[in-house]
Amino acid sequence: MKKTTAQNAFYAQSGGVSAVINASACGVIETALRSRHIGRVYAGRHGIIGALTEDLIDVGRESPAVIRALKHTPAGAFGSARFKLKGLQENRAEYERLIEVFRAHNIGYFFYNGGNDSMDTALKVSQIGASLGFPITCVGVPKTVDNDLPHTDCCPGFGSVAKYVAVSTREAALDVASMARTSTRVFVLEVMGRHAGWIAAAGGLAGKGPDEPPHIILFPEVPFERDNFLARVKQCVTDFGYCVIVVSEGAAFADGRFLADAGTKDAFDTRSSAA
């Protein structure tokens, strides 16, 4: 049987970092370094930009203790980036540049640690590599606090934000309750999750019973009905003296308009909120 030469691996972090993104990095790197199919393991500095600029870190030169320490390292250890590669036809030159760098460093494995856009990028890199005669094994490593990656049960990062939102809701509710007689009676906490209500639902962990805050949770999956909402708020203030609301940033009317639509778009061509 013909002996095949081990190819190298490339790992990169993408998008907003979560509390556990470096733990995922640790798992990928340690496993890749042990694999007999993988030679060197590189990490891209500032995500996919590290590949485009050929700014690579040879993590195999670090001690096992340093790699293990990633599990307890905050932020993005290698630097992340909000950099979206467009479609293959729109931006073919950048994809060809990636393959050029991967070919130069004999990179046959690409691990991209990110969310939906990152998974799409991994797919496109796989496609362009195959078309250029340099096939690459592309693996998406889930990372999104929104917990909205298809075909995953729970994305690393969601647990940390779920706890944060639940605790924040509980603390804010206690503050509002203590001042409601002479001050603010209605409190609104907006949370992330443009099209998935997992984070908003986590706010419900703050209450121990049906009458405890949050009294109202607005999900992106459920169309917003203004009159019903206002009636519910008024009833909560009458019954409890105050009302605590957790709302997803993606809460929208039945016609798809976001409640907080500011009429502008972000760098990813997505409608942004006024919050």
Residues taking part in catalysis: 146
Give the list of residues 6+ apart from residue 153 with CB closer than 8 angstroms, or none: none
Measured between its terminal Cα atoms, the distance across the chain in Å is 62
What letter represents residue 194's amino acid?
R
Cβ atoms of 42 and 58 within 8 Å: the answer is: yes
According to DSSP, the β-strands at 38-44 and 56-58 are antiparallel
Q: If you write DSSP's letter for every residue of 190-225 in order, what string do you get?
A: EES-SS--HHHHHGGGG-SSTTSSP-EEE-TTS---
Q: At what angle do helices 116-131 and 92-104 cross, to 10 degrees?
A: 70
